[in-house]
Amino acid sequence: MFLYILIIFLVSYSTGNGLGSLKEAWYTQNIDHFNWRTKGTFLERYFYDDQYWQPQGPIFLYTGNEAPIETFINNTGFILEIAPLYNALVIFIEHRYYG
């Protein structure tokens, strides 16, 4: 089992910059979802890959941790590798305080 995990890690780590066919986009996000009197917004960055997506396919969503999203894209090759098998849309969302 350890050898299998090590191989997956090495393959994911050695995929270059990892961004490949991912496209960068921005979404205007509310600062406060619970207080409707607060009208503040910020631009939230995300990356997506729709080259294999079919309308009936799943959406693989990765929500970012407390670091720039490229760090996680570069080390999460598994999601991108299985997307063609499932005709999936892949989305990586950056944490709101990074980027």
Rg value, the chain, Cα: 16
pTM, 2 dp: 0.69
pLDDT tens figures, 11-28: 344 344 446 788 999 988
- Residue 66 tokens, joined: 């407390």
For residues 89 and 80, give the distance between their C-alpha atoms in angstroms, rounded to a whole number.
Answer: 9
Neighbour-count burial of 50, counting CB atoms closer than 10 A to its CB (0-12 exposed, 13-18 middle, 19+ buried): middle
How far is residue 12 CA from its own chain's centroid? 14
Nearest to 82 by CA among 42, 49, 56: 49
DSSP three-state, residue 47: strand
Bigger pLDDT: 92 vs 10:
92
